[in-house]
Amino acid sequence: MNLLKQRILSDGRCLEGGTLKVDNFINHQMDPALMMAMAQEIANRFSDKGINKIVTIEASGIAPAILAGYLMQVPVVFAKKNIPSTMEHMISTSVFSFTKNRSYDVGISRDFLSADDRVLFVDDFLANGNAALGIIDIVNKAGAQVAGMAFLIEKGFQNGRQKLLDMGMHIESLAIIKSLDNCTITLE
Ligand code: 5GP
């Protein structure tokens, strides 16, 4: 998606360790017009896949997910990170965080995920695929089906895509980073 690619090149910054910082338009300050355009692109790419629910993980996936859900007219559920012990009916799993370098639990209530759901997972980044694998685990535990996975930015030099393809997933990424070597952003 050209609009996003141009924005990454103009406003993205590269941090040591292969992290792309997009705090000024996705991860902290958000650009609503760009976010809506990205959601529209996601909605177009999955319009014929029979999606009836969107699932994301808090926090950065929520903005694109809610806009895509609005456009696709389906409910949006976000996996919670700090699962309160009082929360009932939780389906949870452990996810290793690329940016925080530690594992954390995420969960979704059984009340909002059921066997007749065809789920589209939406997230800001695909890196090693750990967040996506966690969601696949939760969706499977609910007896539901992952019908597709949409990412705003994929880091093509990490192995998330391959892991998900090996599981038969349909993946769409709006921009793919080929390399962040020498702190230079190179897109596919
Ligand atoms: P994965 O689970 O695929 O390894 O990593 C995806 C998650 O880690 C995303 O939800 C995102 O929050 C975070 N992440 C991974 N790589 C980057 C990056 O280069 N920049 C930013 N801002 N977040 C990242």
Q: Which of 60, 167, 33, 29 is nearest to 122 (CA)?
A: 60
At the topology level of CATH, where does 2-187 sit? Rossmann fold (3.40.50)
Tokens 């093509």 belong to which residue? 156
Looking at ligand 1, which residue's alpha carbon is closest to its atom 4? 128
Residue-wise pLDDT tens digits, 88-98:
799 999 999 87
Distance 98 CA to ligand 1 centre (A): 6
Residue-wise pLDDT tens digits, 50-87:
999 999 999 999 999 999 999 999 999 999 998 876 77
Question: Could you say which DSSP state residue 36 is in?
Answer: H
pTM of the model: 0.97
Question: Could you say which DSSP state residue 81 is in?
Answer: S
Find residue 186's DSSP bridge partners. 179
Distance 127 CA to ligand 1 centre (A): 6
